[in-house]
C-alpha cells in the first residue's frame, strides 16, 4: 500500500521498465515511487488537480500530466 497523497488519487502510471510508479490526484501533486513502495520524489507545482499522468515510452523519464 502506498500512502502519501493528502486527497484522492486519480491516475497512476508505471515507467516503461516497470521500476517507477507515478501517482497523481486531487492534492495537485505527482508522487514517484519505487516498486518496493519507497517514495522517491513529490512534484508539487501544479495549479489544479491532476487527472492523468504518463511516462514517455521514448526515454522512460519524461512525465506528462494534465
- Listed in sequence order, the residues at least 6 apart from 2 whose beta carbon sits closer than 8 Å to its beta carbon are 21, 23, 31, 33, 37, 39
Number of domains in the chain: 1
And the C-alpha cell for 48?
A: 489544479
Q: What is the mean pLDDT of the chain?
A: 95
* Residue 3 is assigned to a structural domain of this protein: no
CA distance 56 to 47: 22
* Residue 1 is assigned to a structural domain of this protein: no
Across 7-34, average pLDDT: 97
At 2 the pLDDT is 78
Supply the DSSP string of 31-54, one letter for each residue.
EEEETTS-EEEEE---SS----EE
**pLDDT higher than 80, residue 60:** yes
**Full-prediction pTM beyond 0.85?**
yes
At 1 the pLDDT is 65
Domain carrying residue 47: 9-65
Amino acid at each position: 500500500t502506498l500512502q502519501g497523497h493528502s486527497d484522492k488519487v486519480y491516475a497512476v502510471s508505471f515507467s516503461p521498465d516497470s521500476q517507477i510508479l507515478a501517482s497523481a490526484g486531487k492534492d495537485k501533486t505527482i508522487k514517484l515511487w519505487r516498486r518496493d513502495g519507497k517514495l522517491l520524489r513529490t512534484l508539487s507545482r501544479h495549479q489544479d488537480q491532476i487527472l492523468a499522468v504518463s511516462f514517455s515510452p521514448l526515454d522512460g523519464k519524461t512525465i506528462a500530466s494534465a
